[in-house]
Structure 1
């Protein structure tokens, strides 16, 4: 059993030594632990510091590509290294690396595909009241879209099984956290959560400059992921909304007509026609989006097979390795009569 701990870094020379020093050297059920540093366009001594602390595996970006891309490239390299479990943490020492042992145990035991650390947001001292509430709302929205019950969907401290990484395909470049949960939930992967206590704040977040920017980017990532898997839900609600609202002007016109006001009020009819037209457009967009969703499923099947060929995995071998095989096959040779 090989564990790869990947650390996306952007100018983390001051805090990276703390992260590397606190990563466990031995974990029950794990035979080998490899540390992988993703250099996301660092301009300081992050890479040199990592090498000085014994890190031998790196992914380098010439320019800053963002957290989502760093996660994606780190996962690809980890799979190339033969990782059975991949843990993602941060280079700013936000997370307690000593809890990596607890994070990977449900996967090692074959009880989960993904394990996410619950930062217990209400206990994080440097989070304002507004930010804590936004975190709760964000987690609730993601859980609704994914069909999960996770207390902290935005946490980046998490462990993935090899099989889950074969099945997941990240697209968002802002942050992979929300997208991977929505994908995993819709692919019926088992997601577990363990509570942790985060370390003291070392710097400001580099993912966003302001809270409204964070909300906007997170909302776009959630909506995009939701539409990919359940477009009929969104377009059905939009159709219902525009259809109901579009009938109101016609009802108003009918009431006025019965009251003898038979002249004018054409603006009501025009507004009603416009709203009902939008309802019909939503129906058509929903049909197209659902066809695209079906096509995406077929493409993801091909991507899964491509990954298995690239990384030398067969589906049955990977599932059996993690105790997650849901299908068994048997051939019985008929005896000659």
Structure 2
């Protein structure tokens, strides 16, 4: 069984070697461990540091494309190079490398396909009180949207089986962490969470420039992912609100008519009709979106089988080269 540990990097020359030195060299149940970095348009000597250390693979972007695209490019490279398990960690050594064994153990034992490390958020000193509350709130929202029990949704310290990695799709350009949990939860991919440790902060986070920006982008990512996987439910809820308000106004108008008070309430009747039509049209949009979502599921299934053929052939060719 082959494990590839991937690290997204953007100008990480100062911290990358520290993070690499912390990675495990052997794990029981794993035959081979290899290392990969995604150079996301770094302007420093990140790649040189990685190659001097002995990293096996380097995925290069000439221009910074963001964490989400870097993550997917890393998965692609890992799968093409025959990874049975893929672990994603950070270049700033935020996560304890010894805990990688805890991440991959449920996958090795066949208990899960995705394992996410749960940080001790309340005990992390460099997290402000506001950030701690937002982390908990964001994870709660993701749990509701994904119908999962993952306690630390924004955690980037996670492991994927080969099968799970081939099923993932990330469409937003911000981060992969939230969207992949919603997708896995809705697709019923087996997920687990394990408690992990964190190291002292080597540099400030670069994922967001302000707390407001982080909250806004995270909420938009969650809502978008939920709409993709449960469009009928989302639009039905949105449509039910104006429809019910309009229905109540309509009943109110009929009550006035029954009481013989029929003057001066035509505006209420017009508003009731408008709101009920708006709610009904929103529900129709939900039906159309649900049909599109059904077609997307078919396309994802086709994509999975194409990926499987492609990656398995690529891995087989690499093995033939090694044997030769």
Q: TM-score range by the shorter chain?
A: over 0.9
Per the TM alignment, residue 175 of structure 1 is displaced from its structure 2 partner at its CA by 0.6
Match of 1:290 in 2: 290
Per the TM alignment, residue 250 of structure 1 is displaced from its structure 2 partner at its CA by 2.1
Question: Any gaps of 5 or more consecutive residues in structure 1?
Answer: 314-337
2:161 is equivalent to residue 161 of structure 1: yes
Match of 1:281 in 2: 281
1:44-193 to 2 correspondences below 5 Å? 44-193=44-193
- What do the CA deviations read for 1:81-108 (whole angstroms, capped 9, x no partner)? 0000000001111111121122111111
- The answer (yes or no) to whether the contact 2:7–2:36 under 8 Å persists in 1 is yes
For the aligned residue pairs, the C-alpha RMSD in angstroms reads: 1.4
Match of 1:202 in 2: 202
Match of 1:232 in 2: 232
In 1, distance between residues paired with 2:194 and 2:42?
A: 31
Per the TM alignment, residue 267 of structure 1 is displaced from its structure 2 partner at its CA by 2.4
In 1, distance between residues paired with 2:231 and 2:152?
A: 25
Q: Any idea what SS the aligned residue of 1:154 has?
A: coil
In 1, distance between residues paired with 2:264 and 2:275?
A: 19
Q: Any idea what SS the aligned residue of 2:312 has?
A: coil
In 2, distance between residues paired with 1:241 and 1:154?
A: 31
In 2, distance between residues paired with 1:63 and 1:301?
A: 31
Aligned residue pairs, count: 313
- The answer (yes or no) to whether the contact 2:80–2:312 under 8 Å persists in 1 is no
Per the TM alignment, residue 258 of structure 1 is displaced from its structure 2 partner at its CA by 4.4
Match of 1:4 in 2: 4
Per the TM alignment, residue 149 of structure 1 is displaced from its structure 2 partner at its CA by 0.7
In 2, distance between residues paired with 1:62 and 1:86?
A: 24
Match of 2:321 in 1: none
In 2, distance between residues paired with 1:27 and 1:175?
A: 29
In 1, distance between residues paired with 2:84 and 2:19?
A: 22
- The answer (yes or no) to whether the contact 1:120–1:152 under 8 Å persists in 2 is no
Match of 2:244 in 1: 244
Per the TM alignment, residue 259 of structure 1 is displaced from its structure 2 partner at its CA by 4.8
Per the TM alignment, residue 202 of structure 1 is displaced from its structure 2 partner at its CA by 2.1
2:286 is equivalent to residue 272 of structure 1: no
Q: Any idea what SS the aligned residue of 1:312 has?
A: helix
In 2, distance between residues paired with 1:281 and 1:202?
A: 52
